[in-house]
Amino acid sequence: MNLISSLSLTAGALNAQKTRLDVVAQNIANAQTTLGPDGRPYQRRVVSFETELLRVGGTPLQGVRVSGITADPTPGQSVYDPQHPQANREGYVEMPNVHLAYEMVDLMTASRAYEANLSVVKNARQMAMRALEIGR
């Protein structure tokens, strides 16, 4: 029994946006991390989505899922700080390529997209409940 068929699709979208929010959180948290597990400064991660083909009760629908989390290869800023343990011979430290402005924009986009999908859930439920009110 699948009463609200669009919900499995929306659940995928919510998952994807939540992953994006997690990645933004990771980027912001590591905005000053100069030493990653590979010995290099942190590289900001970017989430990309891909279409997921779903079949909900005979109707082919296109859902969404996270296709991958990739590192942004842009070089980070070099800051002159000779006391820093990761400073090179000239006294420069390579900082992560995280820009807070970009991350904030990503955060807002993810949060608004999440909200949009939540209102789909809300409306789908309301439509089902309205349909059940026919019998009253």
Partner 1 sequence: MSLLGPIGHSPAASLISRLPGANRDDAPLGPVKLPGVTAAPTPAVNEPGGFGSVFEQLVSSVDAKQDEAQALTRDVLLGQNDQLHQSMIAMQEAGVAFQLMVEVRNKVVESYQELMRMPV
Question: Does residue 80 sit in helix, strand or coil?
Answer: strand
Of 3-11, 52-60, 70-78, 100-108, which segment contacts partner 1 by CB under 8 A? 3-11
Furthest-apart CA atoms within the chain: distance in Å: 80
Site membership for partner 1, residue 130 (CB under 8 A): no
Binding residue for partner 1 (CB under 8 A) from 31, 61, 107, 118?
A: 118
**Number of neighbouring beta carbons within 10 Å of residue 2:** 11
Look up residue 42 and give its two tokens. Answer: 């942190």
Site string for partner 1, 70-109 (x = CB under 8 A): ----------------------------------------
- Which of these, 10, 14, 9, lies nearest to 110 by C-alpha position? 14
CB of 107 to partner 1, least distance (A): 18
CB of 129 to partner 1, least distance (A): 7
- DSSP conformation letters of 36-75: -TTSS----EEEEEEEEEEEETTEEEEEEEEEEEEE----
CB of 39 to partner 1, least distance (A): 31
Site membership for partner 1, residue 1 (CB under 8 A): yes
Number of residues interacting with partner 1: please give it, by CB under 8 A: 16
Binding residue for partner 1 (CB under 8 A) from 15, 78, 86, 109?
A: 15
What is d(CA 107, CA 21) in angstroms, rounded to the nearest whole number?
6
End-to-end CA distance of the chain: 22
Q: Which residues bind partner 1 (CB under 8 A)?
A: 1, 3-4, 7, 10-11, 14-15, 18, 118, 121, 125, 128-129, 132, 135
